[in-house]
């Protein structure tokens, strides 16, 4: 765990990627933080909300998170490039599809595999659902259809 919240630095050193056991990084309310370098693959929790100068960051989904789903909070960062936000959403969707497909294949093959609960999230700035997001609906539920058995 690395707690750096409420500091006045503009950047984090690229050498942070060498922290191979870093699982949680707290950067909330770092108002001058402008960018994040590539983060360690071991990272599964990033709290970087209300970093109002944050404009760019490197990919946050570098590997499959089947065993430990990611929790990324980036809300309140309205200067964050829309392409970056879109990339995070695309990476998250691909990761979810990968995990869901693997679990479906094991279930369809009648393999007796127990999976831990998968509950990751990414809280991103903005007030719109991207048009390409195919699970749009009114209400508090999203229903996903799985292929017939």
pLDDT at 97: 73
Three-class SS state of 72: strand
Q: Is residue 62 part of a domain?
A: yes
C-alpha torsion sign, points 126, 69, 101, 140: negative
Whether residue 140 is contained in a domain is answered as no
Tokens, residue 119: 């509950």
| Structure confidence at residue 88 (pLDDT) | 73
Distance CA 131, CA 100 (A): 22
Tell me how far apart the alpha carbons of residues 82 and 126 are, in angstroms, rounded to a whole number: 9
User: Residue 52: which domain range?
Assistant: 2-123
Segment 52-105, tens digit of pLDDT: 999 888 766 555 455 556 778 888 888 888 777 777 777 767 777 777 777 777
Specify the higher pLDDT residue, 37 or 82.
Answer: 37
In a domain, 27, yes or no: yes
Q: Give the phi and the psi of residue 137 in degrees, each rounded to 5.
A: -165, 165
Instruction: Assess if residue 143 is contained within a domain.
Output: no
Tell me the per-residue pLDDT of 11-29, one tens digit each, with 9 for 90 and over.
999 999 999 999 999 999 9
Is the Cβ–Cβ distance between 33 and 27 less than 8 Å? yes
Model confidence at 130, pLDDT cuts 50, 70, 90, reads low
């Amino acid at each position: 765990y690395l707690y750096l919240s409420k500091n006045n630095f503009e950047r984090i050193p690229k050498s942070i990627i060498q922290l191979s056991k870093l699982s949680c990084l707290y950067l909330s309310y770092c108002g001058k933080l402008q960018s994040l370098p590539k983060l360690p693959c071991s990272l599964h929790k990033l709290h970087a909300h209300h970093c109002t100068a944050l404009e760019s960051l490197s990919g946050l989904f570098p590997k499959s998170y089947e065993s430990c789903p990611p929790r990324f909070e980036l809300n309140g960062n309205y200067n964050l490039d829309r392409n970056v936000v879109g990339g995070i959403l695309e990476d998250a969707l691909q990761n979810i599809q990968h995990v869901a497909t693997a679990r479906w294949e094991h279930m369809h093959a009648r393999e007796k595999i127990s999976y831990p609960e998968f509950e990751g999230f990414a809280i991103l700035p903005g007030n719109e659902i991207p048009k390409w997001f195919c699970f749009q609906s009114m209400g508090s539920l999203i229903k996903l259809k799985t292929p017939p058995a």
